[in-house]
Amino acid sequence: MTTEEENAEELRLIANAVPALLSYVDVEARYIWCNEGYRRAFGCTAEQIRGKHIREVLGVAGWESVRPHLARALSGEAVTFDNQVRLEDGAIYEGHVSFVPQRDASGCVRGVVVMVNDVTDRKAVERALRKSEQMLERSQSSAHVGSWEVDLAGAGWSRPGAVKWSAETFRIFGYEPGSLEVNEAAFFDRIHPDDRDLMRSRSDRFTKRAEPYENEYRIVRPDGTVRVLHSWVDFESDAAGRPIRAIGTSQDITERKRAEQELRDADRRKDEFLAMLSHELRNPLAPILSAVEIMEQAGPAERELRATYQAVITRQVLHMKRLLDDLLDVARVSQGKIQLRRERVELTTLLLQAVEVSRPMIVDKGQTLAIALANEPLPVDADSTRIVQVFANLLNNAAKYSDAGGHITLTSRVERGLAVVSVHDDGTGMGPDLLARAFDLFVQETRAVDRAQGGLGIGLTMVRTLVKMHGGSVEAQSEGAGRGSELVVRLPLAAAPPAVLAVPVANAGATTTTAPLRVLVVDDNVDAVRTLARLLTLSGHQVRVAHDGPGALAAAAALSPQLVLLDIGLPGMDGYTVAARLRAAGHDRAALVAVSGYGQDDDLRRSNAAGFDRHLVKPIDGAVLRKLLAEVSDRVR
């Protein structure tokens, strides 16, 4: 073997031993030579690959991926790039490719040496690292925890690039990731001024000792909002124990701190409430015990004295009962145990019922109540009892926190499809702190004790809960202590359904202006009679009431009514019988209107057959009632 052959053999052995794919291609991109690793990777022998075009070995996709780089190499430029090719066994080979042009004696490129280093494992590690970083970033984002590190070597962390923040750390501080060059000055500039000096001294002290520590501090975001952060800091040290790197995490704990404060406030309010409850329950005991002692000492003949102090006991026991009922009620509401019994009702009627509930307290304090209710219908789908409770509570509060002789105003109006009801007083008013938490459970102004107004501080909580259950809202307004308060309730209006009438009432275009009528209201439900009679009286009508058949006949004889609103389900003598007796007694010209909880076709036919002019279904819709009154008024003019 000649020396030249020996050299060639040595080069072949070296080329095959190199842990890379080596080949040589000519200017037409055809293989001249390749090492054993290259041939093995693509499943070719030396004879099979020699003279083949790269496209025939790498495939069309592989050729297209290397063609622009090969063109640059053939133009004389050394080129390196990363590339993926599919091997003969189907595996994906990731390589770092070098194209080195080979020139002849005249300097012209005569071919290209190709060297491909396998970087498949390295790329897999890089992808795994990127995936891990992405997972860490998602975890940090979900937990609102940011990480950071500070290079403490050399000039320390005041130099550019010494501080690195994760994307979530940027977001915690109120910035888009990477939008801020962070260094020592930039970091401390974002600390709240009141916390800045303490933060700097703690950082310096623990950094010198390379001792892990935790920090709680406030930051000011670019938009001016203040957030509370908690940081955990640890250090890496060199062989001499000097800190060379600080690593840490920061978590936004603003909401947690707010919740902790709310819990402390709730605990304080609970203690205040228990003290108030003790005070409120003990207050009635003193007059009860005194009254019992007086009654025990009173002689048998002192009936008036005994009656007086029996009344004292009764009032005080009823007061205690109301307190306990309030407690049970708010417990049921807060636990979701109250079920609303919704029905289509006229809100104006319920407001007048609430006025009647609260009137005794208002009268007792010599206060003036002004009422300005909407002229238009206010139909709502609501639980009548609960809505009356809402507005009676607001009126009671207005009376409670207003001086004797004070003024209270109840108004209603329609606004953007909502019924808006306002209760305004010129009483003690509310300061900003109380205004912000007026509807919280057990909240009371100190005025409750100072002015001995009583109550447990749960009324407005009940109001807010019940209004929300009806799909509405309530807000408190006040210009400050001593300047009165206004509570505004908004409830969604219901679309008024067609009236259930045996004979159509006046058409929608008819006038609703009515002359005063003599009206007889008959119902065994005392509250229903009182509220309806009150509503009619406020409209200028002369009203008499009765609770049974005989009473209705007697009242009709005295009043000679022009309109009779007659309940069908009366005890003893039902409404049908009463209607017949009224007709027989000569009240032929009176408009007889049946009022019933039933409104099926059979009920309409039966009331019509009994001589009724109309049939209204309880509760009576205010709009229907006003139209009926207008029609009767037109008829008797």
Q: Average pLDDT for residues 363-382, to the nearest whole number?
A: 89
Q: Helix or strand or coil: residue 545? A: strand
∠ Cα 118 121 123 (to 5°): 90
Residue 81: which H helix or E strand, with range?
strand 79-86
Cβ atoms within 10 Å, residue 49 = 20
Q: What integer best gives the mean pLDDT of the chain? A: 81
Whole-number pLDDT of residue 551: 92
500 vs 489: CA distance, rounded Å: 30
Q: Which of 205-219, 396-410, 589-603 has the lowest mean pLDDT?
A: 589-603
Query: Which pLDDT tens digit goes with each residue over 201-256?
Result: 988 888 888 889 998 999 999 999 999 999 999 998 888 888 888 888 888 899 88
Whole-number pLDDT of residue 242: 85
Q: Name the pTM for this structure.
A: 0.39
Best-predicted range by mean pLDDT among 4-8, 422-426, 441-445? 422-426
CA neighbor of 277 nearest in space, from 334, 327, 231, 317: 327
Best-predicted range by mean pLDDT among 228-232, 260-264, 273-277? 228-232
Radius of gyration of the chain (CA): 45
389 vs 126: CA distance, rounded Å: 68
Whole-number pLDDT of residue 451: 36
546 vs 522: CA distance, rounded Å: 5
Query: Which pLDDT tens digit goes with each residue over 534-562?
Result: 888 888 899 999 999 999 999 999 999 99
| 581 exposure class (CB count in 10 Å sphere: 0-12, 13-18, 19+) | middle
Query: Which pLDDT tens digit goes with each residue over 5-53?
Result: 565 566 667 667 677 888 899 999 999 988 888 888 888 888 888 999 9
Sort residue 402 into left (φ over 0), alpha (ψ -120 to 50) or beta: beta
Whole-number pLDDT of residue 288: 84
Whole-number pLDDT of residue 456: 47
Give the β-pairing of 614-617 and 591-596.
parallel
Q: Average pLDDT for residues 178-200, to the nearest whole number?
A: 87
Whole-number pLDDT of residue 328: 67
Q: Average pLDDT for residues 559-574, to the nearest whole number?
A: 90
Across-strand partners of 436?
none
Whole-number pLDDT of residue 565: 93
Cβ atoms within 10 Å, residue 577 = 13
Best-predicted range by mean pLDDT among 126-135, 161-170, 336-345, 466-475? 466-475
Provide the b/e sequence for 228-242 (b: ≥16 CB within 10 Å): bbbbebebeeeeeee
Domains of the chain, start order: 3-118 (3.30.450.20), 132-252 (3.30.450.20), 258-322 (1.10.287), 343-492 (3.30.565.10), 518-636 (3.40.50.2300)
Q: Average pLDDT for residues 279-304, to the nearest whole number?
A: 79
Q: Average pLDDT for residues 152-178, to the nearest whole number?
A: 80
User: What is the phi/psi pair of residue 226, to 5°?
Assistant: -105, 130
Q: Which two tokens stand for residue 69?
A: 């780089």
CB 406 within 8 A of CB 426: yes
